[in-house]
A and B are shown apart, each in its own frame.
Chain A
């Protein structure tokens, strides 16, 4: 056994598992605190906080599903485009049939089919997920544009209001998040995906099929896109070509801000999407309240993303990872 010396207590805290898990929450609280002061408390009024939570829901849902893909060391760039196309098609299905149930079921199915297509293409063609999803993102956006042109599609206002009042958004998020927590931390799905992210060659030689689990990850992410699309429709009432344009970037930013490594593996947490989504929205909302130009907000988000990715690369080697 190697010798043990009395360690520097600060260093010990910085290297502890708990610190790495609590850091994203701490960052969120700091951000809320800073903007609360800067906006003279306007950010933390009841109404403002409700808006933040409601705005964060779509990002939280989609990025929670996306966490399964990221855990395997892959990056999907089509989460946003899939969600928007799914939202468009599901609204059209409702308008054609008048059936709410059919709209909900078809949203989930469309999300799954669109996302699974990326996984299948990637494994069948042997092309990296990121490249396939770039193509899919472009295709889905073009498809939505072709369907809608310059117009929008909408569900009746009464329907969206009643669903919103009935708590549909929170229930959908809650159920999906709970299922994801179980799948990610309590079953071999999450463990296998994280192990693939750690070393896919070793995972294959340990009997973990990369193809199989990648497909599962995309299916779960597809369900997330479907539910996210429904929540977006309920919140906004309509879908157009300008709906959720920055969703993909928001999801990626949310995941890294929530403490997830962009490289997947051990340092992947399913709750990253939720904490990160709140952080992203607080950042957006806070800067907007301070009347920062939207172009500058985009630049700040980009710099934050790059900084976090860089930081995740220089993370100390021996940093312990969580159990489960």
Chain B
């Protein structure tokens, strides 16, 4: 029987997906009034264990007790009603309904009036909740699809908080949030702790984990490696526990090598229906050009406009030979690549295989003759990327949705690296991936730069921009308002000043 302080106990939990073991004899307990951090590389089992606690899926073996009673939730709704709420890693809102309807999704019966749902009451209740949480950016009656990803995450937080959870599970939510969004989340977590409730926090950002968690549990390959108290926090030690080997603290570029004068991509007075207004930029051969700004500055639309996805109403985007980029096909034919911020919805065919995703950029390159594709060439094309990028998978013919976040991102990179793209537009490429994968990504960017490739790195992580870029463009209200050079050694606070 658990004591009063212990709210949840996990005992000898196993979880298998076919032949793959995601959790192996995992045991731990959570006490009231604490924020617990769960950290580990992609695929270490963090999301699996938290999803089992929250009722998303059952364990293969093992037991759980919650408030001293056996705990085996059959659904997330059941867990929510019993006081365990989870903010999921992937998008958890439905776009074509209102914020209020999303908040009470599955619980509409609460507002039943005869055979009908009292929408006015539902919206009023949701608005009351938003006011209580201090959310002013949107209203309960707003349509969810009109809000950006960050706001949609905040809806999920609100949805979870309505049930006043005894245990709040935050699964990689902060990666989708900007600075302001993160502050809001931390406030919610602190309040939980103050109210003698529990938080289970999952993130790849080691700094935020060390700052906000009372204890850190490290998972690797489905096994608990250890649990550290705050006094034992030391970044390199935690990284070593996560990846099982020494990792240098500084994995950014340390050089100040410049780039060629040759402009490979030029945007002139680019204006789009939303977000961009007379945007100008030049990307040079061998340059890593950074782009940063506050969440609404329009930087994510830049990537889409440069790659021909977003319609350019005025101005143009041209390659070195003067070709105007009007569609992704034209961009790809001119050796361009684009990695979207929305990996799962735009950059990957989740229900497709790893091989199919990587090979999707190589249909022309892997031809035997006419339109006939050489299976041998295609196999080599795919195998090379899996080996070089060290994609952890059971086999190339397995679905991408069986991979962890970091490995999914490696597949996205694999398809573009394989196509030998010369100009890479990367929108938040390291979002939601662990330090080990991040380090290998940064190494890859540096190698690409040295090989003369041009990279536009759009990022919400200031350290990443400072550490990796030759030049940083700061955007505000759809325009570039500031240009900062690597030689100026910018700091996070100076960049924030420029953004505001």
Which residues of chain B from 321 to 353 have any CB-CB distance to chain A below 8 Å in the complex?
327-329, 331-333, 338, 340, 345-353
Give the nearest-CB partner of A183 in chain B.
Answer: B371
Residues on the A chain within 8 Å of B22, using CB:
2
29 intermolecular pairs with C-beta atoms under 8 Å apart: A3-B21, A5-B16, A15-B18, A186-B372, A186-B373, A189-B371, A191-B356, A192-B363, A198-B349, A198-B352, A201-B346, A202-B346, A202-B347, A205-B307, A206-B332, A206-B415, A209-B327, A266-B353, A317-B402, A318-B20, A318-B394, A318-B402, A320-B395, A321-B353, A321-B397, A321-B399, A323-B375, A323-B397, A324-B375
A316 CA / B19 CA spacing, docked (Å):
13
Give the nearest-CB partner of A11 in chain B.
Answer: B18
Which residues of chain B from 397 to 428 have any CB-CB distance to chain A below 8 Å in the complex?
397-399, 401-402, 415
> Is B309 positioned at the interface, with any CB of A under 8 Å from its CB?
yes
> Is B17 positioned at the interface, with any CB of A under 8 Å from its CB?
yes
Residues on the B chain within 8 Å of A318, using CB:
17-18, 20, 394, 398-399, 401-402
> Is A164 positioned at the interface, with any CB of B under 8 Å from its CB?
no
Residues on the A chain within 8 Å of B332, using CB:
206-207
A2 touches B221 (CB 8 A): yes
Rounded to whole Å, the gap between the CB of B355 and the closest CB of chain A is 7
Q: Nearest 4 pairs between A and B by C-beta?
A: A198-B349, A188-B363, A198-B352, A207-B332
Which residues of chain A from 306 to 320 have any CB-CB distance to chain B below 8 Å in the complex?
316-320
A204 CA / B349 CA spacing, docked (Å):
11
A206 CA / B337 CA spacing, docked (Å):
8
A7 touches B395 (CB 8 A): no
> Is A17 positioned at the interface, with any CB of B under 8 Å from its CB?
yes
A206 touches B361 (CB 8 A): yes
Residues on the B chain within 8 Å of A188, using CB:
363-364, 367, 371, 373
Given A188-B367, A198-B351, 11 other A-B contacts at CB below 8 A?
A3-B221, A12-B19, A186-B373, A191-B359, A203-B349, A205-B328, A207-B328, A207-B329, A265-B351, A265-B352, A324-B375
> Is A162 positioned at the interface, with any CB of B under 8 Å from its CB?
no
Rounded to whole Å, the gap between the CB of A214 and the closest CB of chain B is 15
Residues on the B chain within 8 Å of A204, using CB:
309, 328
Rounded to whole Å, the gap between the CB of A194 and the closest CB of chain B is 7
A142 CA / B358 CA spacing, docked (Å):
46
Residues on the B chain within 8 Å of A205, using CB:
307, 309, 328, 338, 340, 346-347
> Is A271 positioned at the interface, with any CB of B under 8 Å from its CB?
no
Give the nearest-CB partner of A323 in chain B.
Answer: B397
Give the nearest-CB partner of B44 in chain A.
Answer: A2
> Is A165 positioned at the interface, with any CB of B under 8 Å from its CB?
no
Which residues of chain A from 253 to 284 have any CB-CB distance to chain B below 8 Å in the complex?
265-266
B350 touches A199 (CB 8 A): yes
> Is B360 positioned at the interface, with any CB of A under 8 Å from its CB?
yes
> Is A187 positioned at the interface, with any CB of B under 8 Å from its CB?
yes
> Is A134 positioned at the interface, with any CB of B under 8 Å from its CB?
no
Residues on the A chain within 8 Å of B345, using CB:
199, 201-202
Residue among A182, A192, A199, A208 having the largest count of chain B Cβ atoms under 10 Å: A199
> Is A140 positioned at the interface, with any CB of B under 8 Å from its CB?
no
Residues on the B chain within 8 Å of A189, using CB:
371
Give the nearest-CB partner of A201 in chain B.
Answer: B346
* CB contact between B18 and one of A17, A316, A324 (< 8 Å): that residue: A316
B349 touches A195 (CB 8 A): yes
Give the nearest-CB partner of B328 in chain A.
Answer: A207
Residues on the A chain within 8 Å of B397, using CB:
17, 320-323
Residues on the B chain within 8 Å of A187, using CB:
371-373
Given the interface pairs A187-B371, A198-B352, the reply to whether A2 lies near B346 with Cβ below 8 Å is no
> Is B429 positioned at the interface, with any CB of A under 8 Å from its CB?
no
A195 touches B371 (CB 8 A): no
A316 CA / B17 CA spacing, docked (Å):
10
Rounded to whole Å, the gap between the CB of B46 and the closest CB of chain A is 13
A1 CA / B42 CA spacing, docked (Å):
11
A4 touches B392 (CB 8 A): no
Rounded to whole Å, the gap between the CB of A160 and the closest CB of chain B is 36
> Is B178 positioned at the interface, with any CB of A under 8 Å from its CB?
no
Give the nearest-CB partner of B400 in chain A.
Answer: A198
Rounded to whole Å, the gap between the CB of B403 and the closest CB of chain A is 10
A205 CA / B306 CA spacing, docked (Å):
12
* CB contact between A198 and one of B329, B340, B356, B371 (< 8 Å): that residue: B356
Residues on the B chain within 8 Å of A201, using CB:
345-346
Rounded to whole Å, the gap between the CB of A304 and the closest CB of chain B is 24
B372 touches A319 (CB 8 A): no
A194 CA / B356 CA spacing, docked (Å):
9
Residues on the A chain within 8 Å of B331, using CB:
207
